[in-house]
Structure 1
Amino acid sequence: MIDTMSDFAKRLNEAAEAMTGAKTATLPFDPFAIAKAQSEWAMGLASRPTDLLEVQMEAAAQWGEFWKRTLSGEAGEAPRDRRFRSAEWQDDGYYRGLRDAYLLASEQLQSVVEMGGGEESTKSMMHFLLDQYLNAVSPANFAATNPDVVAKTKETGGANLVRGFANLVEDVASGKGIVQRRTDPTAFEKGKTIAATPGEVVFQNELFQLIQYTPATDKVAAEPLLYVPPLVNRFYMIDLDPSQSFVKWLVEEGRTVFVISWVNPGDEHKDKGVGDYVLDGIVTAASEVKKRTGEAPDLFSFCLGGTLVAIALAYLAAEGRSDEVNSATLIGSLVDFADMRDWSAFVHEGHLDALDDHLEAQGYIDSLELQRLFAAMRANDLIWSSVINHYLLDRDAPPSDLLYWFEDGARIPAAFLKSYNRDLLLDNKLAEPAGFEVGGVTIDLAKIEIPMMVIALKDDHVSAWEAVYRGARDMGAEFILGGSGHNAGVINPPSRNKHGFWTGGKTMPEDADAWLAKAKRHEGSWWPTWTQWLDKHGDGRQVAARKIKDGIEPAPGSYAMMP
Structure 2
Amino acid sequence: MGTISQPPPRPTSRPDAPGPMLRRGPRPLAMHLLCAPTSPPSAGSSTASNDASPGWNPGSATPPLPPGIDPAFIAGVAAYRRHPYRRADPGPTPVLWSCGEMRVLDYGRPGDRPVLFVPSLINRGYILDLMPGRSMLRHLAAQGLRPLLLEWGWPGEDERALDVGGYVQARLEPALADIAGQCGQAVTLAGYCMGGLLALAAAQRRPDLVRALALLATPWDFGAASPEALRALSRLLAPHAAMMALTGTLPVDALQTAFAAVDPASIIRKFRDFGAMPQDDPRTALYVAMEDWLSDGVPLAAPVAVECVRDWYGANLPMQGAWQVGGTPIHPRRLSLPTLVAVPARDRIVPPGSALPLAGLIPGATLLQVAGGHVGMVAGPRAEGLLWAPLTAWLQRHA
TM-score, normalization: structure 2?
0.75
The aligned counterpart of 2:366 is 478
Alpha-carbon shift at residue 263 of structure 1 (Å)? 1.7
Tell me which amino acid in the other structure corresponds to 1:136: A
* 1:247-305 superposed Cα distances (whole Å, 9 cap, x missing partner): 11011111111110112124553312111211122212221221111111111121111
Identify the residue that residue 37 of structure 2 maps to in structure 1. Answer: 137
Deviations, residues 200-255 of structure 1 (Å, cap 9, x unaligned): 1122112511111243xxx964x311000111111110101111111110111111
Q: In the alignment, is residue 249 of structure 1 matched against residue 139 of structure 2?
A: yes
> Distance between the aligned counterparts of 2:79 and 2:98, measured in 1?
33
From 451, 455, 459, the equivalent of 2:346 is 459
1:429-508 correspondence runs (5 A): 429-433=317-321, 435-476=322-363, 477-492=365-380, 498=382
Q: How do 1:148-547 and structure 2 match up within 5 A?
A: 163=62, 182-184=80-82, 187-189=85-87, 192=89, 196=90, 199-215=93-109, 221=112, 223-266=113-156, 269-314=159-204, 316=205, 321-341=206-226, 342-348=228-234, 351-383=236-268, 385-386=270-271, 399=285, 400-433=288-321, 435-476=322-363, 477-492=365-380, 498=382, 524-538=385-399
Check whether the contact 1:306–1:333 (CA below 8 A) recurs between aligned residues: yes
**8 Å CA contact retained: 2:233, 2:258:** no
Indicate conservation of the 8 Å contact 2:188/2:211, yes or no: yes
Bigger Rg over Cα = 1
> Could you give the per-residue CA deviations for residues 45-72 of structure 1, whole angstroms, max 9, x where no partner exists?
xxxxxxxxxxxxxxxxxxxxxxxxxxxx
User: How far off is 1:472 after superposition?
Assistant: 2.0
Change (3 A) 1:525 1:387: closer
Query: After superposition, what is the alpha-carbon deviation per residue over 1:103-124, rounded to whole angstroms, capped at 9, x for unaligned?
Result: xxxxxxxxxxxxxxxxxxxxxx
Q: Give, as a single letter, the amino acid of the residue that structure 2 aligns with 1:369.
A: A
**What are structure 1's unaligned runs of at least 5 residues?**
12-128, 151-158, 168-177, 501-523, 539-563
Report the aligned-residue RMSD: 4.0
Provide closer, same or farther for how the CA distance between residues 272 and 357 of structure 1 changes in structure 2, counting only shifts above 3 A: same
Residue 428 of structure 1 deviates from its aligned partner by 1.2
Find the aligned partners of 2:126 and 2:383 in 1 and give their Cα distance.
21
CA contact (8 A) 1:260 1:285 kept: no
**Structure 2 counterpart SS, 1:202:** strand
Equivalences, count: 351
CA distance in 2, matches of 1:238, 1:197: 16
Which amino acid is the alignment partner of residue 269 of structure 1?
A: E
Structure 1-normalised TM-score?
0.55
Letter in 2 for 1:212: D
How far residue 482 of structure 1 moved from its aligned partner, in angstroms, is 0.9
Alpha-carbon spacing, 1:253–1:4, altered in 2? closer, same or farther (3 Å): same
Q: Could you tell me which runs of 5 or more consecutive residues in structure 2 were left unpaired when the two chains were aligned.
A: 1-7, 18-30, 48-57, 67-75
Relative to structure 1, the CA distance from residue 491 to residue 189 in structure 2 (aligned partners, 3 Å threshold; closer, same or farther) is closer
Distance 2:280 2:302 in 1: 37
Which of the pair is proportionally richer in helix?
1
Assess if the C-alpha contact under 8 Å between 1:233 and 1:409 holds in 2. yes
Distance 1:3 1:188, change over 3 A: closer
Change (3 A) 1:471 1:356: farther
